[in-house]
Structure 1
Amino acid sequence: MSYFTFHLIFVVPPILLLAWLQRQSFTNEGRRARLALPLIALIAFVYTTPWDNYLVWRGIWEYGISRVVGTIGYVPVEEYLFFMLQPILTGLWLYWLLARDNESLQQKSSSILRVLMLIVGGTLSVAGFLMLRSPSTLYLGLILAWAAPILSLQWVIGAATLWGMKRIWLMGVLVPTVYLWVIDRIAIANGIWQISDTYTTGLQLFGLPIEEATFFLVTNLLVVQGLILFLLLETPQQIVKLIEHIDKSRLLNDR
C-alpha cells in the first residue's frame, strides 16, 4: 500500500462523510466555523513542517521510498497533505458533536483551574526538553517540547471555557485519536513508514509506539481546543448561535 492509497482508504472517506452530513449547516452564522477549518489546517501545516523535516533528517522516522509520490525537503508530499487532512477530519467531527450535544456552556472564571493547567503544561514542556538529552526519549521529548507550550497557552487562555465544554472536548479528542491510532498501526504494519528503535522508548500501546500514540493525542488536543477557542473568541454566545443555526438548518432540510 502506498502512502497516497492510505489517504484514499482511511483519511479522505471519513472527511467526505462528515462534510456530506453537514452540507447544509454552515451558512450565515456559520461563517466563523467555515473560516476556522482552513485556518487551523494552515497553522498546523506551517507549525509542523520544520519540526517533521527535522524528524526525518534525524532518522527518527522514515518512509518506504516506493510508497510515496515524492518529497519536498525531507518529507513526503503525502505527509504534508496529512498535516492539513488531520485538522479537517478532527474539526468536522467536532462540528458534528456541537450540533448534537446539549451540554451547558456556562463558564465560571477559575484562577485555580488556570494555575493548575499552567503547572501541567509547564511540567510537560520541561519534561519534553529534558527528554531531548537521551536518544531513547528523543522522539517523545520532541513531541512534548513542540506541543506542550502551545497547549499551555490554550489552557491558560481558555481553561474555564474548555472545562465548561468538557464532554464535547473529551469526545472531540478521544474518537479521532483512537481512529488515528488504529490507522497509524495499520500504516506501520504495511511498511508505509517506520519508527526508529534508537530514538524511542520501546513502550507500546496495543502494538503502537507510545510516541505515535502521544503525537496523535496532543495534535488532536491542539486542534479541538484551538477550534473551540476560536469559535468563542468574541463571546461565549457565538457557540450557542452556531448550534442553534445548525439545528435550524437540519430541521428545514428534513422538511
Structure 2
Amino acid sequence: MLSQLTYLSFLAVFAGIPLSILVMGSVISRRGDHQPVRVQVGGVALMITLALGYTIPWDSYLIARGVWWYGEGVVTTRLWWMPLGEYLFIVAQTVLVSVWTFQYASVADPTVGHSWRDRLLGVVAGVAVGAVGVGLLLGPAETFYLGAILAWAGPVFALQWGVGLRYLLAIRRRIVVLVGVPVVYLSSIDRIAIAQGLWTISPTYSTGLTVGGLPIEEGLFFLVTSLFIVQALVLLRWVIARWG
C-alpha cells in the first residue's frame, strides 16, 4: 500500500521506474543521436553537481525552519537536516528531466544571435524575479515559502536569461513541452506523497492555495527547478553549436 511507503521506496517506484522506461526508450529508438554521448553524459553530470550544490543549503534551511516535515517512519537516515531521500530526490529529478530534455529537444539553431541588450534584459528579468521573492519573504509568514522559491530562483534565471534569453524565446514552444511534461508528472507524484502523509507543507509558511489539491508552492518549485535544468541544457547545446 502507498501508505506504507518510505521516502526511499517512494523514489524507487515513482522516480526509478519512469527513468528506467525513459532511458530504455531512448536506447531503443536511438533518439538524440545528433548529440554526442559525451555531451549528454557530461551535461547530466554537470546538472547533478549544480543541483546538489545550489539546492542543499536552501533545502536544509527550509526544513530546519519547519516549512515542511516528514511523516512518522518515512525517514530512515538523515545527513545534517536533510533526509537521505531528499538528496536522492534532487538527483532523480535532475536525471529524469535531463534525459527527457536530451532525447526530445530539437537540434540547436546556431543562427540565433544574442545582443548585449538581450543580455541586459535577461539579467534584469532574473533580478526582478528574485526581488519579488525577497519582498514575499519579508512579508506575511504565509508567503514565506513562495518568496523563498522565487528569491532562490532569481540568480539562476538572471544567469541563464543573461546568456541566452533570445534563444530561449525563439524556441519557447519547445521549452513549454520540455518543461511542462516533467512538471505535471512531478507535481502529480508530489500530490500523492502529500496525500499519503510522506511529507506535510506547513500551513504557517504557505498560502494555503492549491491546484488539484497540490499547494501552489510545490507546483512552483517543480516549475522553477525544471526550468533550471531544461534551460541550462538547451543553452549548453546552443553555445556548443555556435562556438564548437
Establish whether TM, by shorter chain, passes 0.5.
yes
Alignment partners' CA distance in 2, 1:110 and 1:213: 33
Aligned to 2:68: 61
Aligned to 1:145: 151
Alignment partners' CA distance in 2, 1:26 and 1:188: 38
Alignment partners' CA distance in 2, 1:13 and 1:44: 21
Aligned to 2:123: 118
Aligned to 2:181: 175
Judge conservation of contact 1:57–1:74 (CA < 8 Å) in 2. yes
Judge conservation of contact 1:104–1:164 (CA < 8 Å) in 2. no
Evaluate the alpha carbon distance shift between residue 186 and residue 105 of structure 1 in structure 2; reply closer, same or farther with a 3 A threshold. farther
Q: List runs of 5+ in structure 2 lacking aligned partners.
A: none
Judge conservation of contact 2:121–2:162 (CA < 8 Å) in 1. no
Report the CA distance between 1:230 and its aligned residue. 2.0
Aligned length: 236
Equivalent residue letter for 1:5: S
Equivalent residue letter for 2:51: A
Instruction: Give 1:76's match in structure 2, choosing from 70, 74, 83.
Output: 83
TM-score by length of 2: 0.89
Alignment partners' CA distance in 1, 2:185 and 2:110: 27
Alignment partners' CA distance in 2, 1:157 and 1:115: 9
Report the CA distance between 1:147 and its aligned residue. 1.1
TM-score by length of 1: 0.85
The one-character-per-residue Cα deviations of 1:31-58 (angstroms, maximum 9, x if unpaired) are: 1111100210111011111111111100
Deviates further, 172-181 or 14-23: 14-23
SS at match of 2:39: helix
Q: For residues 198-217 of structure 1, what are the structure 2 equivalents within 5 Å?
A: 198-217=204-223
Equivalent residue letter for 1:89: L
Aligned to 2:14: 10
Report the CA distance between 1:233 and its aligned residue. 3.0
Alignment partners' CA distance in 1, 2:240 and 2:34: 18
Report the CA distance between 1:226 and its aligned residue. 1.0
Report the CA distance between 1:81 and its aligned residue. 0.4
* Identity in percent: 38
Report the CA distance between 1:115 and its aligned residue. 4.3
